[in-house]
Amino acid sequence: MKPGKLDCARALLEPLWETKAHSPTPGPRSGHQWHWQDVKAYITEAAKLTSPEVVERRVLRLMNPEPAFEDDESTAGNLAAAIQILLPGEKARPHRHSINALRFIMEGHGATTIVNGIPVAMNPGDLLLTPGDCWHEHYHDGDRPSIWLDVLDAPVHNALGIITFEPGPVAKEKMPASLPIGAFKAPSILPCGISHGRAYSPVFSYPYEDVLRVLDHAPVGPEGLRAVRYANALTGGAAMSTLDIQMLGLEPAEPSRDYRCNADFIFLVVDGEGTTQVGDETMSWSKYDILTIPRNNWFHHEARSKAHLLQVSDSEMLRRLDLFEESYRS
């Protein structure tokens, strides 16, 4: 029998049975591939049009091909990705925000990011962290443009309504105490207040050569490939509190297992060539292409030549909330 009509909106009450509340999230959105050739051409053009002096950060955002709502600033679900370029001699002034960000350096030697007062070198292959609320600024003393990928958890902060932003310059009393990277030989002994009330990793730089050395010793995991996880030097857990970051090593003719989970993925092809099957779509990739795989898609990778993929997902956030779900088939 159809329920009777209850007219209670005037009291700011609504019968749940008349709403769409709690309906399951619709089926997976499509993945997308950005070809490096296009991205490089546009970011190079952007460098001629403006400067960080004018726009704070000279960044091209990777747009979500299927935005979930108006002004959706995500690239895929809970992740935002962008390409940034800094020319020799340029500076991008200091600021800080609640949003966590990582950078993976693609081109150009000799740029530096200063994170909470600590200078961090930016060279191709390096992964850098600017955990939420850490002051950061970029400058470039090299002689070729520095180009890198930014990945941020901005959509999560937006959804939670907790975005903060503070422009520099940094007042001395606002600078949290930090230790230089080399001081972490005894990570169980730390000055109080080192984490500024949050357990973010005090190590802001993961050079590529270290990653490759560890990857060489990594066993083949349940995914059917070798992978290393960028870890928080304080806790041994994930490098960032919301983002899981891994480097995958793929061998030709050794496809990864078909996998699905409720986290969103961004992949950067660091080197090599291959394909990624997402649902019934096949993406054929090469160096510095960027792929997104939104949550709940089945996917697997297959390399044509030895390949490395940087994988970033929001699975760490879901894990911490006990919301992460994953499965394999075949």
Nearer to ligand GTQ by Cβ, of 61 and 257: the residue is 61
For residue 169, is the peptide bond before it cis, meaning its omega torsion is within 30 degrees of 0?
yes
What phi, psi does 23 have (nearest 5°)? -75, 145
Choose, by CB under 6 A, the member of 64, 74, 75, 84 that binds ligand GTQ. Answer: 84
Total of chain residues touching ligand GTQ, rule CB under 6 A = 8
Q: Binders of ligand GTQ among 255-274, rule CB under 6 A?
A: none
Nearer to ligand GTQ by Cβ, of 152 and 312: the residue is 152
Nearer to ligand GTQ by Cβ, of 101 and 303: the residue is 101
Minimum CB distance to ligand GTQ, residue 118 (Å): 15
Choose, by CB under 6 A, the member of 43, 62, 82, 243 that binds ligand GTQ. Answer: 82
**Binding of residue 136 to ligand GTQ (CB under 6 A):** yes
Residue 48 neighbours by CB distance under 10 Å: 8
- Chain Cα centroid distance, residue 3: 47
Distance in angstroms (rounded) separating the CA atoms of residues 209 and 224: 23
Binding to ligand GTQ by CB under 6 A, coded x per residue (else -) over 20-59, reads -------------------------------------x-x
Choose, by CB under 6 A, the member of 90, 126, 133, 150 that binds ligand GTQ. Answer: 150
- Dump the DSSP string for 32-79: EEE-HHHHHHHHHHHHHH--HHHHSS-EEE---SS-SSTT---SBTTB
Distance in angstroms (rounded) separating the CA atoms of residues 182 and 97: 26
Minimum CB distance to ligand GTQ, residue 84 (Å): 6
Nearer to ligand GTQ by Cβ, of 86 and 225: the residue is 86
Strands of the sheet containing 326-329, edge to edge, are: 281-285, 274-278, 299-303, 258-261, 326-329
Burial class (CB in 10 A: 0-12, 13-18, 19+), 96: buried
Minimum CB distance to ligand GTQ, residue 111 (Å): 11
Nearer to ligand GTQ by Cβ, of 201 and 277: the residue is 201
Minimum CB distance to ligand GTQ, residue 246 (Å): 21
What's the CA dihedral at 230, 146, 58, 125 to 10 degrees? -20
- Residues at the contact surface with ligand GTQ, assessed by CB under 6 A: 57, 59, 82, 84, 101, 136, 150, 152
